[in-house]
Amino acid sequence: MWADLPHDIIHLQSIGAELGTTFYTQRTDAPITPGRLLEIVTNRTGLDPALAEAAFGDYLDYAQFAPEHIGGYNYHDVFYWEQRMGKWGYQKYQDGDFAHRMLMPFNDRGLIELMQSLPYPLREQKVLLEAVLATVPALDPERLRGHVADEPLRPADVDESPITWRDVVAARPHLRPRVRRAAARLRRRAGGMP
């Protein structure tokens, strides 16, 4: 899937934005049951109860997935957050991360909680998502040239510096303490060399 993309792109993965835009639109007031969860996942009704039990029979107890445990959020959204983002979304991110740099701008609990705090009609209209996207600065067409061309630029044609570990740490500041600890361990193993 990612083989034809240039190695030096930054892929902004939008997984999580759907939490602010009501991804599951077929909502009911039906109680949370294995059958209802299977309906959400498959977007079909009237499925075999045995299939629902096999798919989600243990899940409700294991995840404590009940209204009193999900903080007042709509269970459709929490289920999306746990199931779709936690399984399919993670796999997509992991696959892409092998080929190039992936960032998930919506993977932030504070932002997700903010998106969830909006009334349903505003979420359905994607008000917050549109506001966030409106803040993205215009991209320089020259820098974008190789990333939107029919054929990717060959490395010799690209005048950008390769992405280094310093770039990754700068983009992901939460990694700094880990990098410092790892560097300290390496220095200790090397006998105190800088």
- Name the residue range of residue 175's domain: 162-193
121 within a domain of the structure (yes/no): no
Q: Supply the pLDDT for residue 145.
A: 46
> Does residue 105 lie in a domain region?
no
Q: Which of 169-178 are b and which e, b meaning 16 or more Cβ less than 10 Å from the residue's Cβ?
A: eeeeeeeeee
Give the residues across from 11 on adjacent strands: 102
Looking up tokens 């009704």 gives: 45
For 138, the 3-state DSSP assignment is coil
Identify the pLDDT of residue 178.
67
- Would you say residue 180 lies in a domain? yes
| Close Cβ partners of 95 (under 8 Å, ≥ 6 residues apart) | 1, 2
Residue 185, in any domain of the structure: yes
Measure the CA angle with vertex 139, ends 133 and 142; round to 5°. 160
- 166 inside domain: yes
Strand spans (E) along 42-174: 101-103
Residues in the chain, total: 194
In a domain, 174, yes or no: yes
Hey, what's the torsion of the CAs at 100, 103, 107, 110, to 10 degrees? 160
Q: Is the residue at 186 inside a domain?
A: yes
Number of domain units in the chain: 1
Query: Is the pTM value of this prediction over 0.85?
Result: no
pLDDT at 150 (0 to 100): 46
| Under-50 pLDDT residues of the chain | 139-141, 143-155
- Give Cα 169 distance to the centre of its chain: 19
What confidence score (pLDDT) does residue 166 get?
Answer: 58
CA angle 190, 193, 194 (to 5 degrees): 125
- Residue 80 contacts by C-beta under 8 Å, 6 or more apart in sequence? 18, 19, 23, 24
CA dihedral 158, 96, 14, 9 (to 10 degrees): -10
In a domain, 65, yes or no: no
